[in-house]
Amino acid sequence: MARTSIGRRLRVITGAVVVAGSVLVVASPAQAAGACSATLNYSSNAVVASCYGKTSGTYFRGAATCEPLGGGTTHDRYGSRLPASSGPGSYYSSAYCLSGEELVGKGNGGLGYVWPA
């Protein structure tokens, strides 16, 4: 086994620590991409969705899964298309079920929103 100087070993270890530390401060794509969320509101038969911090020029809309009273095939209904690049709480898109329908869940596969829309 070849002998190395203590100084060389310390430089290698110090370099590894610096590299490891720099990896820890890098933001993940999820942090940089903003967020979307949706809430069920059974009292108004709607899903209320909001997105913020997304790429400029993109849009979102709320999505509700509705079912005819008495049963039948479920389908999704959608709210207004709104900008997704503003700050938190700037825009809310509500998707309503019609009279004669009941809200059975969040639309678009359970997300409650469509982004990009």
Residue 63 in contact with residue 106, Cβ under 8 Å? yes
pLDDT of 28 reads 39
pLDDT of 2 reads 53
- Beta-strand ranges (E) seen in the chain are 35-41, 46-52, 59-68, 75-78, 82-83, 93-96, 101-106, 113-114
Higher pLDDT, 22 or 114: 114
pLDDT in tens, 75-109: 999 999 999 999 999 999 999 999 999 999 999 99
Segments making up each domain of the chain, as ranges: 30-114
pLDDT of 23 reads 36
Dist CA 78 CA 64 (whole Å): 6
pLDDT in tens, 14-70: 444 333 443 333 333 444 479 999 999 999 999 999 999 999 999 999 999 999 999
pLDDT of 33 reads 74
Torsion 98-107-117-82 (CA) sign: positive
pLDDT of 6 reads 55
